């Protein structure tokens, strides 16, 4: 129900030194059905004939093919531009992906700046970005939108474009309140004959469907409730269905099991561990899957120069068949798809295409539509078997939006996380703008989970290490302001999980009001220039407020609630400090070695006649001893909340958060 375009899409063609004007064309529907419509329009723009053929599926995806053909003798076309005038209020955020081989460095995520002029181009994007193609700057995936809606521009390849390292393939400008997304398809002269010059592009409006009901409770609800465990993924929980139960091997990327009986045995073990009410997920890999014996006679065209499998039609069919076996045998309720990364390929049996210019033999293609079709077909398989689909790809940065219509949730994160100690934390690695754009929101129609990195330089830290505790706190303070939760119950999640269970994220799950939308509900007063944010989880009579401090020093903050806006009626609230992990557990204060060393020193100092005096107390410590107040008790007093009606004052430590529960009083 939202207008994304400010005006009709424009096609600008310049040939023979002049801008062509098209005559009136005829529109013909070639196909009309409940799930798909296709149409064609033809019109003359002398000396060219132009045609647009397109089809739309039931989720709103549109696939366009535009053809320019000479009416007589070949025509030199200097430029072809497709311009999308976007409503200015819609075009505030951008996600771009080049499809580069290093998918963790092939993205650009940013807020589009206000004001007129150039806003972004595929030549002027994030510094250090890796391009997917060896020549040119074509992005196979660009989404422009806001917190609610958007439009994704994508393609399976750049066939019909004229790649150039000097002219942007795509650019965004703003003038007079209208933001224009321009595709510079032909940017250097090309000869067009009667056979025609054609190019394609894909439009995907977002969201295609509502968010899944109750998704905020997934992995946050109490154990024993449905979907309280949304991460029972066979390879990750110790019972891989593709391996021998007597000798389980995970992450081998196999698609078929050793035997279906063995797979059933592994499923039963998962069920015993996580309960009958939670879905069992099968692990498969998007980029490096290993076909089984049923596909052994088909081994060509699958791997073609990019190190990733080509999603050729035969492989799509095979993979759907494999999924049907798992689903129809009652082995799984969901599928987890790892390493989703805009699958690049040079396979001519897939989306790559041959060229004869600049001594290059072929141009790269991308598996965007192949992956979409796979997710769509698997969704239908679940429904055909009377099951709710649970399709969960891991897309760090690689938001392959045409597939979103048939995904229940996605996973982001895992990269750019933390360094050893406190020198570098999540707030340094992930900006709030990035998390806001890629985090949860109605614009996606699915749930976005976060995958924290627990390995540091190849080492998994012990949860008792103090620096790890503080890194976990910083991670929560950053990620949860984008309404994201964690896919696995790592120590990072366990630090805060009991507090959220107290609030009850099960059905009915709370709504969430992010910090950029709660100005009428809550004000956060702090020192001038203080960098704090407050998000609100809301239920009809209570709310959980998370206050994050992004500064490198502690901040004194005062919160004031507008109960009429927050709860729909005037009233007074009761405040409660809901963070049971605010005070570090004893075993998080020091490592094993530090505790042992301190105990040894204390024992040695207490021995009479050892000739060695104990460490003298400084003035502050001496006052603590005399007053009977420990340093921990002083810190607890400093961090205590100070309610005053519908206001509360508190201290938020640097790079940390506070959790406050408020209940509307009778």
Quote the strand ranges of 431-531, DSSP E: 447-451, 485-486, 511-513, 522-525
- Rg, Å, the chain Cα set: 29
Alpha carbons within 13 A on the beta-carbon side of 77? 31
pLDDT in tens, 283-295: 999 999 999 999 9
Element (H, E) at 64: strand 62-70
253 burial type by CB count under 10 A (0-12 exposed, 13-18 middle, 19+ buried): middle
Q: CA torsion angle for 10, 15, 20, 25 (degrees, to 10)?
A: -70
Those residues of the chain that have pLDDT short of 50 are 421-422, 458, 464, 588-592, 595, 598, 602, 605-613
User: What pLDDT shows up at residue 609?
Assistant: 40
Residue 208 has phi, psi (to 5 degrees) of -90, -15
SS3 328: helix
**CA-to-CA distance for 485 and 505, rounded, in angstroms?**
12
Q: Which of 249, 247, 282, 218 is nearest to 500 (CA)?
A: 218
User: What pLDDT shows up at residue 132?
Assistant: 84
User: What pLDDT shows up at residue 632?
Assistant: 82
User: What pLDDT shows up at residue 608?
Assistant: 41
Would you say 53 and 38 are in contact if contact means Cβ atoms under 8 Å apart? yes
**CA-to-CA distance for 376 and 208, rounded, in angstroms?**
13
Q: What is the DSSP letter of 132?
A: S
User: What pLDDT shows up at residue 298?
Assistant: 78
3-class SS letters over 505-565: CCCCCCEEECHHHCCCCEEEECCCCCCEEEEEEECCCEEEEEEEECCCCCEEEEEEECHHH
SS3 352: coil
User: What pLDDT shows up at residue 426?
Assistant: 87
Instruction: Give the tokens for residue 276.
Output: 């009958």
Helices (H), 275-414: 313-328, 368-384
* Greatest C-alpha distance within the chain: 110
| Other C-beta atoms lying within 10 Å of the C-beta of residue 606 | 9
**Region at 566 (left for phi over 0; alpha for psi -120 to 50; beta for the rest):** alpha
Instruction: Give the tokens for residue 133.
Output: 């193609």
The number of angstroms, rounded, from the C-alpha of 647 to the middle of its chain's C-alpha atoms is 35
Alpha carbons within 13 A on the beta-carbon side of 623? 4
pLDDT in tens, 49-103: 999 999 999 999 999 999 999 999 999 999 999 999 999 999 999 999 999 988 8
pLDDT in tens, 190-214: 999 999 999 999 999 999 999 999 9
Instruction: Give the tokens for residue 392.
Output: 């969960």
Residue 91 has phi, psi (to 5 degrees) of -90, 75
């Amino acid at each position: 129900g939202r207008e994304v375009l400010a005006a009709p899409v424009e096609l600008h063609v310049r040939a023979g030194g002049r801008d062509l004007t098209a005559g009136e064309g005829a529109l013909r529907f070639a196909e009309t059905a409940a799930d798909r419509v296709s149409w064609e329009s033809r019109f003359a723009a002398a000396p060219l004939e132009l045609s647009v053929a397109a089809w739309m599926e039931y989720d709103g995806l549109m696939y366009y093919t535009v053809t320019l053909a000479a009416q007589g003798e070949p025509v030199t076309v200097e430029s072809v531009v497709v311009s999308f005038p976007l409503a200015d209020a819609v075009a505030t955020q951008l996600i771009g992906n080049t499809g580069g081989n290093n998918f963790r460095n092939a993205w650009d995520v940013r807020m589009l700046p206000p004001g007129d002029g150039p806003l972004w181009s595929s030549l002027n994007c994030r510094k250090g970005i890796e391009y997917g193609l060896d020549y040119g700057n074509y992005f196979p995936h660009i989404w422009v939108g806001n917190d609610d809606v958007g439009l994704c521009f994508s393609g399976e390849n750049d066939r019909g474009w004229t790649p150039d390292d000097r002219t942007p393939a795509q650019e965004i400008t703003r003038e007079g309140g209208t933001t224009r997304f321009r595709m510079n398809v032909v940017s250097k002269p090309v000869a067009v004959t009667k056979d025609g010059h054609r190019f394609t592009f894909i439009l995907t409006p977002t969201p295609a469907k509502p968010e899944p009901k109750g998704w905020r409770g997934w992995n946050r609800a109490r154990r024993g409730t449905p979907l309280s465990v949304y991460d029972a993924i066979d390879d990750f929980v110790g019972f891989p269905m593709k391996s021998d139960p007597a000798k389980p091997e995970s992450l081998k990327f196999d698609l078929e099991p050793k035997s279906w009986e063995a797979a059933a045995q592994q499923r039963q073990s998962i069920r015993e561990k996580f309960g009958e009410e939670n879905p069992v997920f099968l692990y498969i890999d998007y980029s490096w899957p290993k076909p089984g014996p049923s596909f052994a006679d088909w081994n060509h065209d699958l791997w073609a120069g990019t190190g990733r499998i080509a999603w050729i039609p035969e492989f799509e069919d095979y993979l759907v068949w494999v999924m049907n076996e798992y689903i129809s045998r009652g082995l799984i309720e969901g599928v987890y798809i790892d390493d989703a990364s805009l699958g690049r390929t040079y396979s001519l049996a897939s989306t790559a295409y041959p060229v004869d210019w600049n001594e290059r033999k072929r141009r790269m293609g991308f598996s965007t539509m192949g992956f979409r079709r796979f997710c769509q077909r698997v969704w239908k398989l679940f429904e055909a078997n009377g099951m709710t689909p649970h399709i969960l790809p891991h897309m760090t940065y690689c938001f392959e939006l045409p597939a979103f219509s048939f995904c229940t949730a996605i996973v982001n994160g895992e990269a750019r996380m933390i360094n050893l100690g406190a020198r570098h934390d999540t707030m340094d690695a992930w900006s709030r703008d990035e998390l806001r754009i890629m985090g949860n929101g109605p614009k996606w129609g699915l749930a976005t989970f976060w995958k924290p990195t627990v390995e540091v330089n190849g080492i998994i830290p012990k949860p008792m290490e103090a620096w790890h505790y503080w890194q976990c706190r910083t991670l929560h303070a950053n990620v949860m302001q984008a309404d994201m939760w964690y896919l696995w119950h790592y120590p990072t999640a366990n630090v805060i999980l009991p507090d959220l269970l107290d609030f009850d994220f099960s059905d009915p799950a709370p709504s969430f009001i992010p910090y950029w939308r709660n100005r009428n509900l809550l004000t956060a007063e702090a020192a001038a220039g203080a960098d704090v944010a407050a998000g609100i989880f809301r239920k009809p009579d209570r709310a959980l407020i998370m206050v994050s401090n992004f500064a490198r020093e502690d901040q004194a903050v005062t919160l004031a609630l507008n109960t009429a806006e927050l709860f729909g009626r005037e009233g007074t609230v009761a405040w409660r400090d809901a963070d049971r992990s605010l005070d570090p557990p004893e075993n998080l204060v020091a490592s094993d070695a530090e505790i042992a060393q301190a105990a040894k020193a204390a024992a040695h100092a207490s021995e009479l006649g050892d000739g060695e005096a104990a460490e003298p107390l400084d003035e502050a410590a001496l006052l603590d001893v005399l007053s009977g107040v420990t340093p921990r008790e002083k810190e607890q007093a400093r961090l205590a909340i100070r309610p005053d009606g519908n206001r509360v004052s508190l201290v938020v430590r640097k790079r940390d958060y506070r959790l406050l529960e408020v209940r509307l009083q009778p």
